A and B are shown apart, each in its own frame.
Chain A
Amino acid sequence: DAAVTQKPRYLIKMKGQEAEMKCIPEKGHTAVFWYQQKQSKELKFLIYFQNQQPLDQIDMVKERFSAVCPSSSLCSLGIRTCEAEDSALYLCSSSQLVEQYFGPGTRLTVL
């Protein structure tokens, strides 16, 4: 079974603070994705890495987030200055071909 790991599982930040969350993709997977999910509903795509290189991202990520994959076994997603609207579940997935396998997510609460 696929096993994508995400840490921490829960993160609480004050408005204006920096936040960072990590993802360990499934071994052998070359693609990593980050999604944002609010209210347990629709998933919003944030950024996509292929072989550790960012290939696609939405404008919000370019403006306020920082995302890197320093190795094939570790990726991180950061928020430079947290805002209340950033409170959400951040899901990381990895893929070798087409189907994606998801981690349990990091639940960020911004107070």
Chain B
Amino acid sequence: AQSVTQPDARVTVSEGASLQLRCKYSYSGTPYLFWYVQYPRQGLQLLLKYYSGDPVVQGVNGFEAEFIKSNSSFHLRKASVHWSDSAVYFCAVSVYQGGRALIFGTGTTVSVSP
């Protein structure tokens, strides 16, 4: 069965520092990959997605992610975080096209300190 692992439950970074959130998936093929962000008391917002092509994808608010097939990873990065980036970040995969449930990781809580 497919699964997603986010090994870091909580990450604390200083404002202006770089951020990397790790995500590894379990699937023999190439799935559709996503990063979502959840701000307090809100739903999930799509940050970026990867379907095929260039393994580095750009998202909103300066986020990017790199797909490394050999490592089954899809890590999220941001060069310089802002206090407003404090949120919970979820990595998710889908192995179907045309509408199927996403498989989510357990999320990483990011706290940005001033």
Contacts and interface: CB of A to CB of B under 8 A. Distances in A.
Interface string B73-114: 000000000000000101000101111111111110000000
B44 A102 contact: yes
Contacts of B11: none
Given A95-B99, A97-B98, A42 B43 contact: no
A104 B104 CA distance: 17
B51 to A, nearest CB: 7
A98 B101 contact: no
Contacts of A100: 46, 102
Interface residues of B, number: 26
Contacts of A31: 98-99
A30 B90 contact: no
Report the interface size class on chain A: 20 to 34
B67 interface: no
A71 interface: no
Contacts of B32: 98-99
Interface of B: 32, 34, 36, 38, 42-46, 49, 51, 88, 90, 94, 96-107
